[in-house]
Structure 1
Amino acid sequence: MGGEGWAAQALAAAEPAVFWTDRPDAPPAGAALAETIEVDLAVVGGGYTGLWAALQALEDQPGRRVVVLEADHCGFGASSRNGGFCDSSLTHGLANGLSHWPDEIETLVRLGRQNLADLAATLDRYGIDADYWPVPEVGVATEPWHLEDLAEEIDHHRAVGDDVDLLDADQMQTLVRSPTYLGGLIRRNDVALVDPAALGWGLRAAAQSLGAEVYDSTPATALRGHRRGIEINTPGGRVRAAQAVVATNAYPGPLKRPRRYTIPVYDHVLVTEPLSAEQRQSIGWGGREGMGDVSNQFHYYRLTADGRILWGGYDATYHFNNGVAARHDQSPPVHAKLADHFFATFPQLEGLSFSHRWGGPIGTTTRFTAAWGTAHRGRLVWVGGYTGLGVGASRFGARVALDLLHGAPTERTELAMVRTKPVPFPPEPARWAGVQLTRRALQRADARQGRRGPWLRLLDRFGVGFDS
């Protein structure tokens, strides 16, 4: 049976569900808001950013009345659907940070490392069991031109103090075995793996332990300023808040302005059944390293705590007019393509089946990093657009949002990344057309040894792009 046949058979029994949340110990959703309340801080969105905002606000000022309003249930969306890569980078990787903020890169790297250390300390402080596991990260070369890119990249990593080395083909095969591997770059610092759903559940419990009120099934249907701050309408009640943080990221929230800068991009993921001892031996991978190839259209993959392989990425998709709907979560063509690529990478795993398949939207900006904005005379701050590296960066995003609400400048709020906005996406239909044109251009670049054509060079000139 060929690779495509293996892929189809392996997908046949995969549950159309998120592996991380498909388990009996998942906490039930909480109650919805059913009254009018007055609070010091209202947080719209119960994903990582919103929960970090609530938790840090209460650590800053114990006794404040803080409420979190979540349209579905806390941790829903990218906060429980991601691959669980917790990276210190605030800039969607070092190369992207250098391309946008070369003069501030040392500060951004330092703040990112401190943010990751503070994240880990928070998990210890509140006893959050999120399977936080520091690991090396490996960028894998599967084409000769990847080796050239990695050779250039390593000097940048060493300049900021990263513990990195280039791996030749033999070293790469010793680490993880695949006939597609030609080499790699290993970074041994500032990366961890987590159970993303458990992280979200733990953050919710920690915020509640400090007094946060959390309401599920409570979408913010309208938001306006009033003489005491911000008023938020929901289907069952109303919140009057002195200040507010809007952290809906890829999902449409009560503010229109963030939609100029952030679009939802769908990412899809597969998870295998647990590998047998023989299958595990056939691939090596003894260190649970986080893995990813270095093409423009890339795969990311990792081992779970119970010995499965999570395999995602590659084909980021955008639906017209910022389309977000449950029907987009399952994409048979994309999942089939991912499965085919999986067995091309690990043909020795023929016969392994996938247990779960899913997808969901990630918020991205034209510079691939978060953006912030204020409204209602500084009483409201919005933030979003982490582009797939939000597990760690969302804590920083929330910290900056709180700094902006406090009104006093900090080292964080003075960053150019915070003070400036990304180039906005054009309105439809130009938005959809531009994304499709860029996707095709990235595919062509990968097929042409990484050479970027006229369209990508134009985007590079203006510092904009599209990524997953």
Structure 2
Amino acid sequence: MANPRVGSGFVNGEVSFWYRQAGPPSARAPLPGAREYDVCVVGGGFTGLWTAYYLKRARPSLRIAVLEREFAGFGASGRNGGWLTAELAGSAARYARDRGEAAVAAQQRAMFAAVDEVIRVAAAEGVEADIVKSGVLNVATNPAQRRRLHAELASARDQGLTEADLRLLTADEREERLRVAGALDATYSPHCARVQPARLVQGLARVVSSLGVDIFERTTVGEIRPRSGGRPAMAVTARGDVRAEYVIRATEGFTAGLAGQRRQWLPMNSSMIVTAPLAEETWERIGWEGCELLGDHAHAYIYAQRTADGRIALGGRGVPYRYGSGWDRRGATQPKTVTALARMLAALFPAAADAPIEHAWCGVLGVPRDWCSTAHVDHETGVGWAGGYVGTGVATTNLAGRTLRDLILREDTELTTLPWVGRQVRPWEPEPLRWLGVQLIYALYRTADRRENRGHGRTSAYARLADLISGR
């Protein structure tokens, strides 16, 4: 069904709105042939760029290459919702079972610091990315969501988080910040910032290149081979092989495209829409003067921001998974997903119900089987990786880059003792079980949301079944 509020200049896919706003990046040359480096990073998104940045800052003499199939920041790094959030990329309870509560607390503190570290580096390196650190609101719009909101708040207290880290807003505080239709309650955390992700990743790429890191674009890596028989680790491409002491896999949602990695991390699709700039009188009805980030407690949750030029950008799950761990290279969003997201936007902000939708796009993020991110370097094979950020990667990638730096340099630091370091999980099921399972999971979540929106006061049994199947 066509969306009647799609604007006349509507764009679907190709690149995200963020690149439409910031302008296309300048093209870099592909790999000119076989080369040797100290460190070869596969993937030119935030993980790869932060890793190269911190390694080069720590050891300027290191020869470092970044290999990217499209252009630096093409994937999730330039397509996300612009949330620089300290939210853990994974389950605190699962990390705690493996490594203890103290380790989880350390990981959370490291995430708080990562938000500020990104902001610090952007300022120090002259990267302008519309950054505003004004926190995040998570709202509950039905009784079941409200129960989950309060349960999350209680869990935060059990983990040692204080009112300064996460607190319940009064009704007056909530309405003063942002007027969401039907909001029953909302929490606020200061540990989150709005960013324009394309400007951030492109700025970071320019800085990394200026430090002397070689970034090769339009270079597809088909396989990563470990160190063996006196031969160094290797990134295999049609343009030549890159041999290095360490090869770092920083491919996140595109990991399934590497030989032998199809079941490692599931490429989960997430979709976004952005409105035309809203009129001043519309903003007066909505509020949102502080530019906080906005999320909710639905199972098929949304994430939103007020952009620097006065639009609403809102995202959520569309078609979550494509058979065989595939993805749409154009980044187009299905018309029914555009319509669904536009309806969610209108339900949350009736004042913006008539705002034209100007751009829609999607991207893929990496999901491990246990929904917990990981960072690791194997000194025997020379292969390392970080990823599986389950949608919270803008800040987590920074922590990953600093952690991989320390691991590669064999330095024992607070970062190398965090509970996600060295984490190994089983692969996803083979097809067609993988596709059938994901379709079932999200059908159950959507059904749970519909039932809860009709007034069911507790989390739907459909959602609990989906959690059980998914392993979340």
| Closer/same/farther in 2, CA of residues 64 and 253 from structure 1, 3 Å limit | farther
Change (3 A) 1:20 1:379: same
2:281 is aligned to 278
Q: Is residue 246–residue 253 contact of structure 1 (8 Å, CA) maintained in 2?
A: no
Deviations 1:62-90 (A, max 9, x none): 12111111000000010000011001233
Q: Note the C-alpha offset of 1:95.
A: 7.5
CA distance, structure 2, for counterparts of residue 101 and residue 459 of structure 1: 22
Query: Partner amino acid for 2:137?
Result: V
Equivalence for 1:211: 212
Partner residue, 1:140 = 139
- Equivalent pair of 2:72/2:205 in contact (CA under 8 Å): yes
1:367, 1:422 within 8 Å by CA — same for their partners in 2? yes
Higher mean displacement: 102-111 or 126-135: 102-111
Letter matched to residue 406 of structure 1? L
Q: 2:73 corresponds to which residue?
A: 75
Spell out, residue by residue over 1:222-250, the C-alpha distance to the aligned partner (whole angstroms, 9 max, x if none): 33345341232323233221211111111
Partner of 1:160: 161
Counterpart Cα distance in 1 of 2:270 and 2:370? 18
Report deviation, 1:293.
1.1
Structure 1 residues 105 and 162: alpha-carbon distance in aligned structure 2, compared to 1, 3 A threshold: farther
**How does the TM-score come out when normalised to structure 1?**
0.90
Match of 2:254, SS state, is coil
Aligned residue number for residue 107 of structure 1: 106
> Aligned runs of 1:294-313 on 2, under 5 Å?
294-313=297-316
CA distance in 2, matches of 1:429, 1:215: 36
SS at match of 1:52: helix
Question: Quick one: percent identity of the two aligned structures?
Answer: 30
- 2:272 corresponds in structure 1 to 269
Aligned to 1:414: 417
Quote the Cα distance in structure 2 between the aligned partners of 1:102 and 1:319.
36
Residue 183 of structure 1 deviates from its aligned partner by 2.0
Shift of 1:215: 0.7
Secondary structure, aligned partner of 2:27: coil
The superposition leaves residues 315-363 of structure 1 with CA deviations (integer Å, 9 ceiling, x where unpaired) of 4511111012325632111111111221122222243111111111111
Is the Cα–Cα contact under 8 Å of residues 167 and 184 in structure 1 kept in the other structure?
A: yes
Alignment gaps of 5+ in structure 1:
none
- Distance (whole Å) between structure 2 residues aligned to residue 420 and residue 95 of structure 1: 15
Instruction: Give RMSD over aligned pairs.
Output: 2.6
Aligned to 1:201: 202
CA contact (8 A) 1:378 1:405 kept: no
- 1:9 is aligned to 5
What residue in structure 2 maps to residue 181 of structure 1? Answer: 183
User: 1:58: Cα distance to partner?
Assistant: 0.5
Q: Distance in 2 between matches of 1:184 and 1:331?
A: 31
2:37 aligned with 1:39: yes
Separation (CA, whole Å) in 1 of partners of 2:10 and 2:300: 24
Give the distance between the partners of 1:148 and 1:77, measured in 2 at CA: 35
CA–CA distance in structure 2, aligned partners of residues 287 and 203 of structure 1: 26
Match of 1:464 in 2: 471
**Aligned pairs, number:** 459
Verify the 8 A CA contact 1:101 1:417 in the aligned structure 2: no
The equivalent residue for 1:90 is 88
Shift of the 89–38 alpha-carbon distance from structure 1 to 2, 3 Å rule, reads same
Residue aligned with 1:221, SS: strand
Aligned pair in 2 of structure 1 residues 311, 463: CA closer, same or farther (>3 Å)? closer
1:56-455 map, 5 Å: 56-92=54-90, 103=101, 104-158=103-157, 159-163=160-164, 164-187=166-189, 189-224=190-225, 225=227, 227-252=230-255, 255-256=258-259, 258-315=261-318, 317-326=320-329, 329-374=332-377, 377-446=380-449, 447-448=451-452, 449=456, 450-453=458-461
Residue 51 (1) aligns with residue 49 (2): yes
Decide whether aligned partners of structure 1 residues 235 and 256 sit closer, same or farther in structure 2, where only a CA change above 3 A counts: closer
Structure 2: runs of 5+ lacking an equivalent: none
Cα distance in 1, alignment partners of residues 267 and 109 from structure 2: 29
